[in-house]
Amino acid sequence: MSETVPSGPLYTYEHDPSAIYRQSFSTVRAEAALDRLPAAMEPVAIRLIHACGMTDIVTDLMFSDGAVQAGREALVKGAPLFTDVEMVAHGIIRSRLPAKNDVLCTLNDARVPSLAKDLGTTRSAAAVELWRDRLEGAVVAIGNAPTALFHLLETIAAGGPKPAIVLGFPVGFVGAAESKQALAENPFSLPYIALNGRRGGSAMAAAAVNALAAGLPEETAGA
């Protein structure tokens, strides 16, 4: 016995990308406590909420004064973007980068496994060593590995080059909250945006970059 095929649409849902963005950001603005943030941080918070679906993260956002401006200025000047994992790199909207900025992830570089062994650390942390030549004034987005964030801070503490801004969104149960707290308490006057606690992830790190690069889709010609 054959099944009857519906003659009309099987599901009712929004198809128009522009309408989806409008409705999404309208919901975020209605439900999130954005009024506690400086105006410059609102697009970042909205992008982050849009990436994770959790409006309550506003209360966990940590950021330094002028962080958004520092990140935007670095991108406009052509600064490279360093990411700890490929997932962050792939989430960055390349067409919105203001200077066709290089997006670099060194995790899969052939030198990393032996470097990690020599240093006695993770591959994610060892990959940070390969950023040194271009790290000064760069934008760093970490969305996965607490060890990468810790190693970056250790590198700077040892006199290494300092990026223009660090977007700290490591996720997990071992070192994630601690690494982000260390970033927030850094003594190097290092601009940062981070999420307090265990939550984070690659989608959020990429969303933070996209906010710095492009603001919100409703403020541009689409994203």
pTM: 0.91
Q: What is the pLDDT of residue 221?
A: 40
Q: How many CA atoms lie within 13 A of 9 on its CB side?
A: 5
CB atoms inside a 10 Å sphere around CB 3:
5
- Judged by DSSP in three states, 30 sits in helix
Q: What is the pLDDT of residue 137?
A: 98
For 151, left (φ over 0), alpha (ψ -120 to 50), or beta?
alpha
Query: Is position 50 annotated as part of the catalytic site?
Result: yes
Catalytic: which of 15, 50, 90, 151?
50
Q: What is the pLDDT of residue 25?
A: 87
Q: What is the pLDDT of residue 223?
A: 42
> Residue 200: which of 154, 146, 147, 127 has the closest Cα?
146
Mean pLDDT, the chain cut into blocks of 10 residues (223 residues total) = 68 86 89 93 95 94 97 98 98 95 98 97 97 98 98 97 98 97 98 97 97 76 41
- Alpha carbon 57 to its chain centroid, in Å, reads 14
